[in-house]
C-alpha cells in the first residue's frame, strides 16, 4: 500500500498519463480507443459529483442519472431546434457552447434544487426511494417527449457544440476538452471538501442530529451540496450528449444511477479520487471483459458479461472496505 | 433570563412534563435534580428545541423561544450539552470545536478557503481545549478518545458556542473523579459570566455548585429553593434524597 503522503505526486502522474493517452493510443494504432477514454473521463465527472453526496454527506442518492438527462437534453433540444431552424418557447436553438454548456449546468442545478428541496425532507431509505422516484419521473418525461424522439431519442444532426478556437468535432480536441472539465471539476471538489463547508458536510454524515444544537441547519447545507452535485452531473450529461451526438432517455434510466453508485462504492466513497479509479476499472471491465471471456472460449458468458462483473464487484466491496482507493492507499493516521 | 411557564409535554397518556414553571436567574447556576425518569432531559430538550411542548411557554432573554427554530437558539446564546455523548466521531477533537466556532462566526458556507488555513479559529479552539484540559488530544480522532475525554469534548463544544445560558445535561456522567473535579472547578469559574441550568446526579457537585436547586419528580417541580432549604425540605427528602445526609460543603 502507498502512503497518502504521495497522493499529490501520483495525481500529477495520473494527469500526465491522461494527457498523453491519446498520443499513445494514436502511436499504437488504436486511436478508436480515444472514444472510450473520452467516455471514461465524462463518466468520472458524474461519479465524482455523486461522491460529494454519498461519500461526504452520507446522502445515498439513487436518482443521480436524472441530472445527466437534464444536461444531455438541454444540449439535444437546443441542437434540434438549431437544425430545424425553428424556436423553442420563442427561443431559437443554438450550438454555441458558450451558451449551451452554462445553460445545461444551470438547468441541472435548478432541477436539483427542486428535487433536493423535496427529497431532503426525508432520510435514510426514504431518501433513496424518493430520489429513485424522481429519477424515474424524469425518465418517463423524456420518453414522452415525442417531438424529441420519445423512446428512441434523437441524433444531433449538426454535430457537436461549437467553441471559439476549438473544434470539438475533432475527437482529440473533444477528449482534451472533457479532460479539462474533469480536472477543473475535480479540483473544485477537492477545495470544496477541504473547506469549512466540507467540514459541515462530514458532520452531517457523522451526526446530523447534533447540528442544530450548534446552530447549523443541516437542510440548507444538504440542499446546497445536492445542487452542486446535480450541476456536476449535468455537465457530464451535456458532454455525454456531445460525445455520442445522440440523446435518449436511456441516459436517465435508473440502472444508470445504479452504475454511478457502483462506481463510487467500487472506487471508495468519500475520497473523490476513488470514484475516478472506480470509473476506470468499471469501464475497462465493461469494455474488455466480454472480449476476454470470448477469447478463453466462454462465449455464453461473454454475451452476459455482467454475470461475471457482479461477483467481481461483490468481492471488492466485501474485502476492500474503502474500495479500490482503500486497497491502494494507506491513510495518514 | 429563562422563564418557563406552565409547560406540559405529553407522550400519549404519559405527562413527561407536567405544568412546569421555572425561572433561571441571570448569572446563577441553577441545578435541576430528580430521580431517573423525572423528565429532566425532556425539559432540557424542550428548552433547546429538540422537542416541541404540548402547551405552555418558554421565554429566553425576553424572546418567545417556542417561535424560534432549534438551530437559531445557539446563535441567541442558548446552548446545550448532551447526556449521551454526541460528538462528531470521525473529526479530530479540535475540528469538533472548530465546527462550533465556524457556525458561531457564520462561516458554514465558506466554500473555498481551506478550513485548516483559519489560524485564528484554531487558536481559539485550542484555548478552549486547554480550559477543559484536552489540549494534548487536539489532533486525535474523537472516536479514539476514552469515554471521559469525549465528555470533555462535549463541554468544549458547548463553551465554543459562547453561551449566555448553558443547559448542561449531566456533564460529569462517565467522567473520572479527576476530570469531574476539573470540570466542576471550570464551571465554578464561569459563574456570573455564563448562566447555567445543570442537570446532575452527583449531589456533591450539585450542592457544591448550585445557587438554586429545583427538584423534578414525575414531570412536576416539587420544590425550587436554595441548596440549604432544599436539603431540609421534607417533601424532597421523601421523594428523592431518600433521607440521605449530605455534607454541606458550602458552609
pLDDT tens sequence across A267-284: 999 999 999 999 999 998
Between positions 103 and 132 of B, the ones with CB within 8 A of A are 103-104, 107-116, 118
The CATH number for B232's domain is 3.40.50.300
A50 vs A267: CA distance, rounded Å? 12
CA-based nearest residue in chain B for residue A228: B111
Per the CB < 8 A criterion, the answer to whether B2 and B165 are in contact is yes
Residues of chain A positioned with their CB less than 8 A from the CB of B48: 213
Measured in angstroms, the CA of B102 and the nearest CA of chain A are apart by 7
Q: Do B91 and A199 touch (CB under 8 A)?
A: yes
Q: Which residues of A sit within 8 Å Cβ distance of B? A: 191-192, 194-200, 202-203, 206-207, 209-217, 221, 224, 333
At residue B242 the predicted structure's pLDDT band, cuts being 50, 70 and 90, is low
DSSP A262-290: HHHHHH-TT-SHHHHHHHHHHHHHHHHHH
At B249, is the pLDDT very low, low, confident or very high (cuts 50, 70, 90)? Answer: very low
- A219 contacts on B by Cβ (under 8 Å): none
Nearest CB to B103; choose among A191, A192, A216:
A216
Domain containing B203 equals: 2-241
Q: In Å, how far is B242's CA from the nearest CA of chain A?
A: 35
Query: Do A232 and A45 contact (CB within 8 A), yes or no?
Result: yes
CA gap B61, B101 in Å, rounded: 22
Of A37, A40, A41, residue with least CA distance to A22: A37
Lowest mean pLDDT among A4-8, A23-27, A39-43, A317-321: A317-321
Q: What is the pLDDT of residue A245?
A: 96
B251: in domain: no
Judged by CB atoms closer than 8 Å, whether chains meet at B71 and A216 is answered as: yes
Whether B177 is covered by a domain: the verdict is yes
Task: Give the Cβ contact number of residue A297 at 10 Å.
Answer: 9
Q: Of A249, A229, A245, which Cα lies nearest the Cα of A108?
A: A229
Residue B19 lies in a domain: yes
Residues of A in contact with B50 (CB under 8 A): 212-213
Model confidence over B120-152: pLDDT tens digits? 999 999 999 999 999 999 999 999 999 889 999
Give the whole-angstrom CA distance, residue B23 versus residue B59. 10
CB-based contact A69:A144 (threshold 8 Å): no
pLDDT confidence bin for B233, thresholds 50/70/90: confident
A42 pLDDT higher than 90: yes
Contact criterion met (CB < 8 Å) for B108 and A195? no
Q: What is the structure's pLDDT at A315?
A: 85
CA separation, residue A220 to residues A120, A197, A223, B39 (Å): 9, 11, 5, 32
Q: What is the Cα–Cα distance from B219 to B132, expressed in whole angstroms?
A: 33
pLDDT mean across residues, chain B: 91
Contact (CB<8Å) A194/B115:
yes
Name the grid cell of B94.
Answer: 479540535
In a domain, B149, yes or no: yes
pLDDT at A1 over 50: yes
Instruction: Tell me the C-alpha distance between A102 and A185, whole Å.
Output: 14
Task: With beta carbons under 8 A apart, name residues in chain B contacting A196.
Answer: 102, 107-108, 110, 113, 115, 118
B positions 137-166 inside 8 Å of A (CB) = 141, 157, 161
For residue A229, list chain B residues with Cβ-Cβ distance below 8 A: none
Tell me which chain B residues have a C-beta less than 8 angstroms from the C-beta of A213. Answer: 48, 50, 70, 74, 79-80, 82, 86
Query: Does residue B246 sit within a domain?
Result: no
Q: What share of chain A in percent tops pLDDT 70?
A: 99
A191 vs B contacts (CB less than 8 Å): 111-112, 114
Confidence class for position A332, pLDDT limits 50, 70, 90: low
- Identify the weakest region by mean pLDDT among A168-177, A298-307, B139-148: A298-307
pLDDT confidence of residue B250: 41
Give me the pLDDT at residue B175, please: 86
Question: With contacts defined as CB-CB under 8 Å, which chain A residues touch B117?
Answer: none
Q: What percentage of chain A reaches a pLDDT higher than 90? A: 75
CB contact under 8 A, B108 and A198: no
> Residue B241: its pLDDT value, please?
62
B247 within domain boundaries: no
* Residue in A194, A203, A213 nearest the CB of B91: A203
**In chain B, what residues touch A269 (CB-CB under 8 Å)?**
none
Question: What pLDDT does residue B40 have?
Answer: 93
Number of CB pairs, chain A paired with chain B, less than 8 A apart: 93
Q: Is residue B105 part of a domain?
A: yes
Residues of A in contact with B70 (CB under 8 A): 212-213
Q: Which of B91, B99, B101, B143 to mutate to test the interface with A (most CBs of A within 10 A)?
A: B99
- For residue A58, the chain B residues in CB contact (below 8 A) are none
Q: How many CA atoms lie within 13 A of B96 on its CB side?
A: 35
CA distance B112 to chain A (A): 6
Mean pLDDT of the region A295-307:
80
Q: Which chain B positions have a beta carbon within 8 Å of A332's beta carbon?
A: none
User: Is residue B250 included in any domain, yes or no?
Assistant: no
Identify which of A199, A214, A224 has the shortest CB distance to residue B157: A214
Averaged over B220-231, what is the pLDDT? Answer: 91
Q: List pLDDT tens digits, range A95-136.
A: 999 999 999 999 999 999 999 999 999 999 999 999 999 999
Q: Does the distance separating the beta carbons of B102 and A200 come in below 8 Å?
A: yes
Q: Does the beta-carbon distance from A197 to B108 stay under 8 Å? A: yes
pTM of the model: 0.92
pLDDT reading at B248 higher than 70 = no
**What's the 3-state SS for A27-41?**
HCCCCCHHHHHHHHH
Half-sphere exposure (Cβ direction) of B162: Cα atoms closer than 13 Å: 10
Distance from CA of A23 to the nearest CA of B (A): 35
CB contact under 8 A, B103 and A191: no
Q: B98, A197: Cβ pair inside 8 Å?
A: no
For residue range B48-105, what is the model confidence (pLDDT) as tens digits? 999 999 999 999 999 999 999 999 999 999 999 998 889 999 999 999 999 999 999 9
B84 touches chain A (CB under 8 A): no
Q: Domain count of chain B?
A: 1
Is the pLDDT reported for residue A93 higher than 90? no
Contact A206 B90 (CB under 8 A): yes
Signed CA dihedral, A174, A177, A178, A179: sign only: positive
Q: Give the rounded percent of residues in chain B with a pLDDT score beyond 70.
A: 95
Does residue B247 surpass a pLDDT of 60?
no
Amino acid at each position: 500500500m502507498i502512503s497518502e503522503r504521495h497522493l499529490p505526486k501520483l495525481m500529477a502522474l495520473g494527469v500526465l498519463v491522461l494527457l498523453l493517452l491519446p498520443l499513445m493510443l494514436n502511436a499504437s494504432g488504436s486511436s478508436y480507443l480515444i472514444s472510450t477514454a473520452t467516455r471514461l473521463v465524462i463518466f468520472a465527472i458524474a461519479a465524482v459529483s455523486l461522491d460529494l453526496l454519498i461519500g461526504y454527506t452520507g446522502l445515498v442518492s439513487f436518482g443521480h442519472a436524472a441530472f445527466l438527462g437534464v444536461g444531455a437534453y438541454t444540449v439535444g433540444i437546443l441542437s434540434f431546434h438549431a437544425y430545424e431552424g425553428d424556436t423553442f418557447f420563442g427561443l431559437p436553438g443554438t450550438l454555441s457552447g458558450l451558451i449551451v454548456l452554462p445553460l445545461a449546468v444551470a438547468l441541472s442545478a435548478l432541477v436539483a434544487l427542486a428535487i433536493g428541496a423535496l427529497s431532503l425532507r426525508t432520510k435514510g431509505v426514504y431518501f433513496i426511494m424518493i430520489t429513485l422516484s424522481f429519477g424515474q419521473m424524469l425518465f418517463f418525461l423524456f420518453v414522452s417527449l415525442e417531438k424529441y424522439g420519445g423512446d428512441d431519442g434523437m441524433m444531433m444532426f449538426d454535430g457537436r457544440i461549437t467553441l471559439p478556437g476549438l473544434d470539438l468535432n475533432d475527437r482529440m480536441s473533444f477528449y482534451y476538452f472533457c479532460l479539462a472539465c474533469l480536472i477543473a471539476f475535480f479540483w473544485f471538489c477537492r477545495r470544496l471538501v477541504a473547506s469549512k463547508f466540507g467540514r459541515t458536510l462530514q458532520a452531517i454524515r457523522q451526526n446530523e442530529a447534533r447540528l442544530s444544537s450548534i446552530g447549523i441547519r443541516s437542510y440548507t447545507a444538504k440542499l446546497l451540496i445536492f445542487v452542486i452535485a446535480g450541476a456536476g452531473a449535468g455537465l457530464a450529461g451535456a458532454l455525454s450528449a456531445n460525445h455520442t451526438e445522440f440523446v435518449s432517455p436511456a441516459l436517465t434510466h435508473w440502472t444508470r444511477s445504479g452504475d454511478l453508485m457502483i462506481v463510487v462504492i467500487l472506487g471508495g466513497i468519500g475520497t473523490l479520487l476513488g470514484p475516478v479509479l472506480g470509473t476506470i476499472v468499471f469501464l475497462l471491465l465493461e469494455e474488455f471483459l466480454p472480449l476476454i471471456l470470448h477469447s478463453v472460449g466462454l462465449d455464453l458468458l461473454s454475451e452476459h458479461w455482467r454475470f461475471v462483473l457482479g461477483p467481481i464487484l461483490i468481492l471488492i466491496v466485501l474485502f476492500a472496505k474503502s474500495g479500490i482507493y482503500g486497497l491502494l492507499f494507506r491513510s495518514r493516521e | 433570563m429563562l422563564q418557563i411557564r406552565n409547560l406540559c409535554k405529553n407522550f400519549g397518556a404519559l405527562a413527561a412534563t407536567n405544568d412546569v414553571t421555572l425561572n433561571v436567574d441571570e448569572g446563577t447556576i441553577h441545578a435541576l435534580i430528580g430521580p431517573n425518569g423525572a423528565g429532566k432531559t425532556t425539559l432540557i430538550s424542550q428548552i433547546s428545541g429538540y422537542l416541541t411542548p404540548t402547551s405552555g411557554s418558554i421565554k429566553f432573554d425576553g424572546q418567545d423561544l417556542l417561535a424560534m427554530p432549534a438551530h437559531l437558539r445557539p446563535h441567541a446564546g442558548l446552548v446545550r450539552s448532551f447526556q449521551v455523548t454526541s460528538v462528531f466521531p470521525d473529526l479530530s477533537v479540535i475540528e469538533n470545536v472548530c465546527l462550533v466556532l465556524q457556525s458561531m462566526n457564520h462561516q458554514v458556507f465558506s466554500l473555498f478557503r481551506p478550513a485548516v488555513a483559519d489560524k485564528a479559529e484554531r487558536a481559539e479552539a485550542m484555548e478552549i481545549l486547554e480550559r477543559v484540559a484536552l489540549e494534548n488530544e487536539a489532533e486525535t480522532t474523537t472516536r479514539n478518545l476514552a469515554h471521559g475525554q469525549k465528555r470533555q469534548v462535549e463541554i468544549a463544544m458547548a463553551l465554543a458556542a459562547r453561551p449566555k445560558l448553558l443547559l448542561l445535561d449531566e456533564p460529569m456522567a462517565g467522567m473520572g473523579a479527576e476530570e469531574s473535579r476539573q470540570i466542576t472547578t471550570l464551571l465554578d469559574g464561569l459563574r456570573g459570566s455564563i448562566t447555567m441550568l445543570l442537570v446532575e446526579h452527583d449531589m456533591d457537585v450539585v450542592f457544591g455548585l448550585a445557587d438554586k436547586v429545583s427538584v423534578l419528580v414525575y414531570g412536576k417541580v416539587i420544590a425550587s429553593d436554595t441548596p440549604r432549604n432544599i436539603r431540609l425540605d421534607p417533601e424532597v427528602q421523601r421523594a428523592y434524597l431518600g433521607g440521605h445526609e449530605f455534607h454541606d460543603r458550602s458552609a
